[in-house]
Amino acid sequence: METATEKWRHCFFYLIFLYAILYLIHTHFSRKLLLGNETVRVKKNPDLPLRFRSDGTFKILQVADMHYGNGIITRCRDVLASEFEYCSDLNSTRFLRRMIEAENPDFIAFTGDNIFGTSTADAAESLFKAFGPAMESGLPWAAVLGNHDQESTMNREELMSFISLMDYSISQLNPPAENPSNIDKGEIMTNIDGFGNCDLRVYGALGSNVANSSVLNLFFLDSGDRVLHQGIRTYGWIKESQLNWLRHVSQEYQGQKQDGDHQNDAWPLAKPPALAFFHIPILEIRRLYNKPIVGQLQEAVACSFVESGVLQSFVSMGYVKAVFMGHDHTNDFCGNLDGIWFCYGGGFGYHGYGKAGWPRRARVILTELEKGEKSWMGVKRIKTWKRLDDEKLSKIDEQVLWDL
């Protein structure tokens, strides 16, 4: 007859055996680990690094202001009376799936107000639904936060941490620590404002002389939400600590030299062109009220009254070619400030405010490499257009933002 000690020992070894089996299944046969009634998911990662296709193109889909709520029970705003009865967050989901299928992008950029916090019962659940089509596609994607994302059950740091752990997301909580000895430990910068600031580098096409070089930078910046500044309630803005980080990134390229064996067929990679993505426009956008634009300006620019220094920093860096924003849903124009294009995405989501009869829309950005005698070189051209969520996904306002 077994003693209590022997029974305990058998039970212990049985638990060890079960754990070993579960570990084996987890590491070799599945991306899910079953513990009781709970399923622990393991993040699915995209193929990295980001890189141009063999045809020399890299396409980005910008999704601005999805404003996802609770799904089918969340009603649409500012649609025609004939559309209202059957319109919900699912229309936003359907539109995103249509855009992914039609444009086949290489990367998706979500530029804030991804969920509408005041209409969201559970932030995590709404994030899964909002980003669901992106995760289903297996495409790499990244997001910045807007001024409404944190109004539910997560603060901004929790939201960005959660987003960075979602399938195929390459968002970062913040840039890696500047101390090289800490990078391998996963440590991040703590002396930078906001969450989600990151520099995503896009490499040249495989087989080309620039296959191992970053030929395009994608800067994601947290523009904040609302703050009390000098006793006045205003929108957030990109802070000096973030601009200092950008200048540091810029300095990393100083002194870099191209491969001497490929000088005739390689891009001078000291400073590859860059695109920036954030949510709240900068104050200087108001200078475009009386200047030529491509697209529509239908509402006043809602931004901080603080002059952030973003425009001056981008101009001094010398290689930021275009900026992509959200926040003002019925503005979808591009305008040029001191040689840099600033473009609105236009309202994407059906639970965000809009304009009845004015279709929701998404922006597409296409970057193209220059073809050398023997190989692809650096970026030659940056183009953009928008598509409307109508029967034909109408393509409008195609323009060249930068040409070498």
- pLDDT score, position 27: 41
- pLDDT score, position 15: 55
Task: Check whether 269 has a pLDDT greater than 80.
Answer: no
Distance CA 266, CA 323 (A): 26
- Asked whether the bond before 292 is cis by omega within 30 degrees of 0, the reply is no
CATH number, span 46-403: 3.60.21.10
Task: Check whether 279 has a pLDDT greater than 60.
Answer: yes
Task: Check whether 245 has a pLDDT greater than 70.
Answer: yes
Q: What is the pTM of this model?
A: 0.87
- Tell me the mean pLDDT in the region 86-101: 98
Q: What percent of the chain has pLDDT over 90?
A: 76
Name the least confident of 14-18, 44-48, 63-67, 123-127. 14-18
Rounded to 5 degrees, what are φ and ψ at 91? -65, -35
Instruction: State both tokens at 52.
Output: 């141009």
Question: Among residues 163, 184, 271, which one has the least CA distance to residue 219?
Answer: 271
With bands split at pLDDT 50, 70 and 90, how would you rate the model's confidence at 16? low
- pLDDT score, position 257: 44
Query: Contact at 8 Å (CB) between 152 and 117?
Result: yes
Task: Check whether 30 has a pLDDT greater than 70.
Answer: no
CA of residue 278 relative to chain centroid, distance: 9
Domain ranges within the chain, ordered by starting residue = 1-42, 46-403
Instruction: State both tokens at 25.
Output: 């299944």
pLDDT digits (tens, 9 = 90+) for 199-211: 999 999 999 999 9
Q: How many CA atoms lie within 13 A of 340 on its CB side?
A: 24
With bands split at pLDDT 50, 70 and 90, how would you rate the model's confidence at 42? confident
Secondary structure (3-state) at 57: strand
Across the strands, what pairs with 403? 381
Instruction: State both tokens at 401.
Output: 């933002």
- pLDDT score, position 1: 54
Distance CA 117, CA 104 (A): 30
Q: What is the residue-averaged pLDDT of the chain?
A: 88
- pLDDT score, position 252: 79
Question: Among residues 404, 364, 369, 367, which one has the least CA distance to residue 388?
Answer: 364
- pLDDT score, position 105: 98
Secondary structure (3-state) at 280: coil
